[in-house]
Amino acid sequence: MKKVMLFLLAASLFTACQDTGKKETTAQEKTDSLSAPQYFGEKITEEGAMPSDSLRSMMGDSTKLSCKLVGKIIAVCQKKGCWMELVNADSSTIRVTFKDYGFFMPKDASGRTAIIDGFASVDVTSIEDRKEFAKDNGDSKEAIDAIKEPKKELVFEAKGVILK
């Protein structure tokens, strides 16, 4: 009986002293992780990034342009993070998708700054796609139903993103 009690005591001490690997995240660690740049897709650098406002003038008469932009994120797909929108000073937006659907943005990235590297192009977004984007963004049924025409717009396919 003594041996059984000794065994149970040793087993309970051993179990109680194990590190479960779980670590409490402090407020400082959360702040530090948000302030450190995050990289998605191909590893890119900030060098040569132009403000997203300058894209229209950079494109001129071209329909496709390889470039690197920096801008503020105003919307992110709330289903998976599979697209985001950057806002320009004139309130126009640039929809950004990701090369080969190979990576996604955090759903809470809205309000942060992004450096994107890839290809800008002029594209016509179909009514169906516009409605799908509106659903992904959580727009109201009325706003979705109000979409009645395709939209010619600047779009961007990013091969890499730095999120600041």
Identify the helix (H) or strand (E) that includes residue 132: helix 127-136
- Model pLDDT for residues 36-92, shown as the tens digit of each residue: 899 999 999 999 999 999 998 898 888 899 999 999 999 999 888 999 999 998 888
Kindly report which listed range (28-32, 35-39, 124-128) carries the lowest average pLDDT score.
28-32
- Model pLDDT for residues 80-107, shown as the tens digit of each residue: 899 999 999 888 899 999 999 899 999 9
Closest by alpha carbon to 108, among 29, 46, 33? 33
Are 155 and 94 in contact by the 8 Å Cβ rule? The answer is yes
CA dihedral over 12, 18, 23, 24, signed as positive or negative: positive
**Is 163 a residue whose pLDDT tops 90?**
yes
Burial of 14 (C-beta count, 10 Å sphere; 0-12/13-18/19+):
exposed
From CA 143, how far away is CA 141, in angstroms rounded? 5
Q: What is the DSSP letter of 21?
A: S
All structural domains of the chain: 38-163 (2.40.50)
Are 121 and 79 in contact by the 8 Å Cβ rule? The answer is no
From CA 133, how far away is CA 95, in angstroms rounded? 10
Q: What is the DSSP letter of 25?
A: P
pTM here? 0.71
Can you give the three-state secondary structure of 28-53, one letter per residue?
HHHHHHHHCCEEEECCCCCCCCEEHH
Q: What is the DSSP letter of 27?
A: H
